[in-house]
Structure 1
Amino acid sequence: MNVVLATLNAKYIHTSLAIHYLKAFCKDEFPIELAEFTIKDPAMNIVSDLYSRKPDVIGFSCYIWNIEETITVIDMLRKVLPDVKIVLGGPEVSYDTDHWMDRLKDVDFIIMGEGEETFRDLLRQIASGDNKYHFVFGLAYRKNGQAVINPGRPKLDLNDIPSPYRFAEDIPSLPNRVVYFETSRGCPFSCQFCLSSIEVGVRYFDIEWVKAELTYLIDNGAKLIKFVDRTFNIKREYAMEVFQFLIDNHRGCVFQFEITADIMRPEVLDFLSEHAPPGVFRFEIGVQSTNDPTNLAVQRRQNFAKLSRTVNKVKSSLKIDQHLDLIAGLPHEDYDTFRRTFNEVFALRPEELQLGFLKMLRGTGLRRDADKYGYIYMDRAPYEMLGNDLMPFSDIVRIKRLEDVLEKYWNSHRMDRTMEYLIGSAYPSPFDFFQKFGDYWESKGWSRIGHQLEDLFTRLWSFLQEDAAEGLDMDVAFGLLKIDYYLQHKYKPRKTWWEDRLDKKEWTTGLKWAAERLGMDERELNKKAVLDRLPFDYGAFLADGRPDRTGGGSALLVLYSGEDAPPQLTAMPIPDSWVTEPDASSPSKSF
């Protein structure tokens, strides 16, 4: 019997842990091929590949991000492989299973919930020809044209599951893909918007097994391992042992964890602050909302003061990047309340702030209570909310504009100095800046066209010129944009996006002056350096983050060494030969 397990990942760099588990659990009885695609792959290409494998049984791992694309593939497969047994599994079809059996007539079986034992038992029934599917707990099947949904299956002992990581064919791709890894299953919390709240209790894999599997992955070249545990730090001793093991054995691999920040103990924070290697750990923290009535409505316990303490402590160590999550559209949160949530979380200055929109997932309590809050939402995946009693669709649309520029300008870290100035000094709050800029971006039609690096700078500059915010110093903003632009290049840029540059005389005298001060060869400096002027004292700016204009400005030397080394910035007093009368026609002329 030829069995193929397939899935459509969101991106090429992702891998499907689920189908690897199924293959590992069944491998002693049934040889299984794995076939991973992406949601961007043409359906014809996917079907052609699967058809060439001549499967007797084909299974698909289904999630909100791939279910509709998977259905298209299934419709085509059934036409070209009329006798193949089609099996679905995964969180998207594990709830409202009767709906899926009714909608997808081409599907023979659906596995609900944890699938290792269920899938193996199903294959045994198909291979034997007995077809006694009523004996397979956790399975939905068809009998005489009618859908039959069996009772659920007791949870597995995790120590009975073979390793999903030790397939020789996976080794070549380990350095180039995200490796998903779990040390536990289940979640201790009951957040009503999350599927993890449905599974009661947390089960752990044996700690020595975890260490052995991590060692194997690191030994074979894994570069990024993402732990999928819903709350990695819920069991402190277990988490500490894993942290210590990775500190001792990381060999440059990066590890990402989902943590609950408000329960992180001070001794754990102190340990990480002292011992964590810089850049090796990343934390993802789901804040979602700081509004107490909202958290109460979705049964989410959260102490924002303690969460802030953890984020600030981790940030001060300068060793661990943090990714904080927010959800727009939760109950009891209108536009103004969400604005407050956004600003309170942004004040923590996470390296990344991910703004998502509530999805009414099948099986969750919030979907069952949708009418209570007046929710309207997409009928098909990803089931994103379109509005509720407090946040109409018009507000959702505006916040989406904010989210777009937040991703491009804050999370991308292309112009950190400019961003910090704008949100810290020039605008009333971070939310107000990103919202106004997002609205402007949409009004220009830029959301419907692509962009290159230079476009991000010119579009922001265009917005700042037109908006003319009361607290904005245009000369300072222009100077910071220059710095950020220079820092985005590994080699000396051939052109700049602004018109005003040093004239030939200023460049010649400035180059000679800089070469003498730095003790460098003038010709070599000319090949690798850029000279510019700033309206503020750059050295003072580096010290306290404030652009001080009282000293008459700075000359800026940007030296590029190429390869992977970042450019070096050196600030010096303005040379006498550069002093000119101010020209109000251009911001940079008043430097």
Structure 2
Amino acid sequence: MAARKVVLLELSVYPNTLPLASGYLQAYAQREAGVAGVYDFVIHAPEVRTPAREVVAELVATEADVYGLSCYLWNMRRMKEVLDELVRLRPDAHFILGGPQVMNHAAEYVPPSWENVVVCNGEGEQPFTAFLRETAAGDGAAPDLHRVPGVSFWLDGELVTTDKPPRIKDLDEIPSPFAAGIFDHGEYTFAVVETNRGCPFRCSYCYWGAATNDKVHRWELDRVKSDLTWISEHGIESIFLADANWGALPRDVELTRHLVECKERNGYPSMIAIQAAKNRPDRVTEITEILVDGGMLTSQPVSLQTTSPQVLDLVQRSNIKESTYVELQLKLRDKQISSYTELIWPLPGETLQSFREGIGKLCATGADAVVAYPQLLLRNTPMYERRESLGIVTVRVDDPVAEADVVVGTNWVTREEFDAGVWFYYAVISLYNARAGFYVGRQLERSGLCSYTEFLTRAADYYRGRTDTEIGRFFADSVATLGNYDINNIGKVLHYVLHSHRGEMDRLLEGFLDEQGWLSDPSVRTAFELDLIARPYVYREAVAEPSAALTRLRLLSRERYRFVVELPPEAVRLLSSFENIEGLSGAEPGLGPLRLLVDHVGRRKMPYPRQRSLDHNAAYCQAMMNRLRDILPSWTLLVPDAVAGTL
């Protein structure tokens, strides 16, 4: 008898992504002779924006007996299109859906007439294998799906849900798909990697810990090392370590060193992304330093999500102490390692004021960059179950492939306040993260003229009235369309502010400061002009003279990537309070103006790729914001005769 065929479908965000979930399902199922001897497996993993008709055509052509679909927030609209057509065109096949978007929501995606479609309600390996056992006969008899644990299905108009099996505690029961050769013939540039499963925390907005409510179970160390070696030897360029808290376990340091050794030996992977453990800052810093020295990581994420104690209590989360956070920032800055502090807007309990004040506090403590992600209402989380009592209001993003529900209101935030918070964050990105008004904000804060919170709030209000500018229109459109759902939206802000509309940003900032009456203060004027010179270039490109006039600083000469400027003592003191000035040690800024070389070459910048789309360039810019110290200029004190010429 010819072997039956099972096709596993993943629709990935990035092209050429290694289909890890499908690999686990196949490797686990093939442990059983009754499955391995009956089924041939095929994994299909196109990029999520591949047209549905193309995906359907390829899947129908396989004439598979079983189709397994991995369903997530980011692919569910496209997956639903594919599923609807597959069920219509392959009515005699069996289907099993899995993933956080569909589990416990079978009735939403499967109509009662589809008795050949099953939804898995938890960890997939055991239900998937049992499902294949039940459908293996292929003699026309209906499988007894009651014997499949942890699934929902329709039978005679009734939705049946079977008991879930216990989670797999000994993860080595799942054979390595890498060692099994499942991925040997694929061409992959990106891979997601698990070294453990589970999360000890219970953050109510997150599926990782709150939904699983489980201790961390880990794969055996040598098994993990072998898998990572396979990834390196097969030339995979970048990996995402999907453990919930990388750095929580002491062995994570050893595994990090192994990754660097693999790269030194084979040249791959070239880039690593991690979800850093929030309660192990010293170990995470050690890991970051290892990866930075190995050329595989350029920044450390610090996941606070909020600075409000009330919010932390409501979402069942605890953060590192404020003193530890400040100490961590100082250590990273001293080592020239970039970092970015992650927040979510708006979590339950967060108000517009607490959100603004929290960011103001982070700016005052010297965070490299502040990243505020939109709050997505994720299914199968405690927050989802409590959405009505929390007053959660959502809007589904207009995306042809995803089912993303953005939280735009809670009991603590109206829709108008939500919009105001997003406007505020665009002020943060442009003025603080992109450094357009970095030293102005610092001078206003430390002089007592205006706090960071008030400075950024006023700037956001000013932007709202300047939709006659390209930057203002982009912000307004992004707020209206929930554009910040797309992470590349942040990158577009940097592209505008640090490249294509740099002169417009100069004039916007000057107009804002003038309207507030601050430019008449010599110290603020000095800080403003320092920002004009110090604002980084996100691409490796020739520096340009500022669009606003310099009256406190003197621009003495300009080369392709460098300025020579003369700074008054107060500008040198302001600059040196945050950046290292080579050669300044022992000099006295109070004696008179000093001449400095401002070098905008940066580290690991790429030239501006004119032939690429804005979306492509925005992805690069967004990544550079998270590794800000790669694009900031360096400063060197010059003796007077070191100036080559004058402008």
1:63 to 65, 72, 81: 72
Aligned residues of 1:78 and 1:106 also touching (Cα < 8 A) = no
Look up the SS of the partner of 1:128 in the other structure: coil
- Quick check: 239-248 or 529-538, which moved more? 529-538
Tell me which residue corresponds to 1:343: 360
CA distance change for structure 1 residues 568 and 577 in 2, over 3 Å: closer, same or farther? closer
Question: Is 2:33 the partner of 1:20?
Answer: no
* 1:356-505 matches, cutoff 5 A: 356-378=373-395, 381-404=403-426, 406-407=428-429, 415-416=434-435, 418-426=436-444, 428-441=450-463, 443=465, 444=467, 445-447=473-475, 448=477, 454-468=499-513, 469-471=516-518, 473-474=524-525, 476-478=527-529, 480-484=531-535, 487-492=537-542, 498=547
1:113 to 122, 134, 152: 122
Aligned residues with identical type, % of pairs = 20
Shift of 1:287: 1.1
CA distance change for structure 1 residues 306 and 37 in 2, over 3 Å: closer, same or farther? farther
Question: Is 2:133 the partner of 1:124?
Answer: yes
For 2:568 and 2:200, how far apart are their aligned partners in 1?
Answer: 52
Q: TM-score, normalised by structure 1?
A: 0.78
Which residue identity does 1:116 align to in structure 2?
A: E
Name structure 2 gaps, 5 residues minimum: 398-402, 468-472, 479-491, 582-588, 607-630
* 1:510-529 matches, cutoff 5 A: none
For 2:573 and 2:127, how far apart are their aligned partners in 1?
Answer: 65
Question: Is 2:181 the partner of 1:164?
Answer: no
CA distance change for structure 1 residues 188 and 168 in 2, over 3 Å: closer, same or farther? closer
* 1:127-276 matches, cutoff 5 A: 127-129=136-138, 131-156=143-168, 157-165=170-178, 167=181, 173-174=187-188, 176-177=189-190, 179-196=191-208, 197-199=210-212, 200-235=214-249, 237-246=250-259, 248-251=261-264, 253-264=270-281, 268=283
RMSD of the TM alignment (CA)? 4.1
Aligned residues of 2:112 and 2:158 also touching (Cα < 8 A) = no
Look up the SS of the partner of 2:164 in the other structure: coil
For 1:348 and 1:13, how far apart are their aligned partners in 2?
Answer: 40
CA distance change for structure 1 residues 269 and 314 in 2, over 3 Å: closer, same or farther? farther
- Quick check: 394-403 or 376-385, which moved more? 376-385
Look up the SS of the partner of 1:141 in the other structure: strand
For 1:470 and 1:543, how far apart are their aligned partners in 2?
Answer: 26
Shift of 1:561: 12
Tell me which residue corresponds to 2:614: none
Shift of 1:324: 2.7
For 2:17 and 2:432, how far apart are their aligned partners in 1?
Answer: 24
> Number of residue pairs matched?
548
CA distance change for structure 1 residues 536 and 454 in 2, over 3 Å: closer, same or farther? farther
CA distance change for structure 1 residues 534 and 102 in 2, over 3 Å: closer, same or farther? farther
Shift of 1:137: 0.5
Tell me which residue corresponds to 1:4: 7
CA distance change for structure 1 residues 284 and 534 in 2, over 3 Å: closer, same or farther? same
Shift of 1:364: 2.0
Q: TM-score, normalised by structure 2?
A: 0.72
Which residue identity does 2:438 align to in structure 1?
A: E
Aligned residues of 2:355 and 2:421 also touching (Cα < 8 A) = no
Which residue identity does 1:143 align to in structure 2?
A: L
Higher relative contact order (CA 8 A, sep 6+): 2
Shift of 1:303: 4.1
For 1:183 and 1:340, how far apart are their aligned partners in 2?
Answer: 37
Aligned residues of 1:328 and 1:355 also touching (Cα < 8 A) = yes
Aligned residues of 1:247 and 1:276 also touching (Cα < 8 A) = yes
For 2:113 and 2:341, how far apart are their aligned partners in 1?
Answer: 37
Look up the SS of the partner of 2:135 in the other structure: helix
> What do residues 133-187 of structure 1 show as CA deviations (whole Å, max 9, x unaligned)?
111101222223432211101222310112234557567644x32x211111111
> What do residues 178-227 of structure 1 show as CA deviations (whole Å, max 9, x unaligned)?
x2111111111112222221212221111111111112222322333221
Shift of 1:299: 1.9
2:45 to 24, 36, 51: 36
Question: Is 2:94 the partner of 1:85?
Answer: yes
Aligned residues of 2:23 and 2:183 also touching (Cα < 8 A) = no
